[in-house]
Amino acid sequence: MLKTYKIEQFQDEESLLYLPSGFKLEEKMFPHTVILGTARQSAECKRHPNGRNVIGISSGLALKLHLPPKVNSLSLFCKEDCLYIGVLIGIFTSGFTSFSLSPIGERSYFFKKLLSVQSSLGVIPFVFGERHINWENGLIKGYFHFGEGWEIEEIPFPNVIYDRLPNRRSEKRKTYQSIKERLQREYGIPWYNPGFFNKLDLFERLENDSSVQHLLPETHSFQSFDEMERMLSSYHHIYLKPKNGSLGNGIHKITYNRSTEEYYCRFRDGDRKNRLLKFKSLEQLVNTVFKSRNLDTFIVQQGISLLQENNRPIDFRVHTNKGEDGAWQVSAIAGKVAGSGSVTTHANNGGEVKILSELFPDEAVREVIEGALKEAALRLSHSIERNLEGYIGEIGFDFGVDENHRIWMFEANSKPGRSIFSHPHLRSYDLLTRKLALSFGIFLTQQSLNHPEEMIP
């Protein structure tokens, strides 16, 4: 773990840096170059003259490195004769507005909270988009939040970039792809969490991994009515989901009643109302409900008889993160109880977040289910990392638990929503996941310095 130190600026036009009394150099040689992100500056480095355990930086050096004046704590580490002050983490996104109070629209609050963990980690995170890059000068106009309001500071190109694009549409733009490639190729900057997962592609890659096959419900691209009939015969109900959907939008639950030979479709309509329709045949159902939709854009997934609370199905959100050590860990678990008449457990559809102790008062049962969820999440995190490209630092899993307590993975999200953290008992996990999301940037920075040849995408 990198140690974090308070940083104080003093007036001096020379490039001076005072090292904290507790900072240990592996060799007696003091570094001659100070680095912040991609900015390098020759400087005189020596022990703090007053013996204090803080970083002292001259105003001249801070100006040359473009160090924002309100940064109040930084990590320090040496490599060869260079001293790296802090880890500069650029958070790349889109959707910027002209409003100073909410420069990233409704997501401004999320980014404000994400940036708030800066001082405890010794990193310098900032938010930016494609139009904030000055390629000629190697600088970025980054958005910072130090607790009082949004500020814009010019900052060097970062050590790493955390991808927080809001949707697939912005991700597919050619300008985004070219920016990413240029920063990786010309500057060697690693990106992490690039790309939304495609549901079908993910399942097809994981189903060949013997370590996680047992966690995957049968999932196919839509093929034919016969295939749907076969799955309904095997599982009693199935789900049709958009391949690139999110937030539970567009999900349809289809059930076959053997005794009446009728088909039921439960879904949410365009007016955001829960609907349940009955049909005499599957073909009639599809031609009515999906008449204006292309079924080739859907996947068909095995239905699972889930654990329930008061006749409302429960699924589970499990967050995993990589931290400063680069190892996967489970960072949050919550149950989500479906709203009345809803096909999903999403909050926007009446779903309710509950912690495990609320759902399983019996401690022995709770421990078994919690342990199984954690094991499944970690197995899948490792498998996804092996089978997908890029640096993945966080995943949000949607799991089902059937009546025999078997775990099933319904979805994995590379940019998971944070609705579970509205529960008062999960606030500390909200903080933990935000810290870990930036701590992984520290790990990647050190990897790129120690093994740069391995970081080339």
Chain segment 209-254, per-residue pLDDT in tens: 999 999 999 999 988 889 999 999 999 999 998 887 666 678 899 9
- Residues 360-412: pLDDT tens digits? 999 999 999 999 999 999 999 999 999 999 999 999 999 999 999 999 999 99
Q: Tell me the one-letter amino acid at 70.
A: K
pLDDT lower than 50: segments of the chain: none
Say what the pLDDT of residue 256 is.
Answer: 93
Amino acid, res. 315:
D
d(CA 398, CA 318): 7
Instruction: Identify the sign of the CA torsion 89, 91, 96, 102.
Output: negative
pLDDT at 198: 85
Which pLDDT belongs to residue 36? 97
pLDDT at 344: 67
Q: pTM score, two decimals?
A: 0.91
Cβ neighbours of residue 111 closer than 8 Å, sequence gap 6 or more:
91, 93, 104, 127, 143, 145, 164
Q: 123-128 and 87-92: which strand pairing?
A: parallel
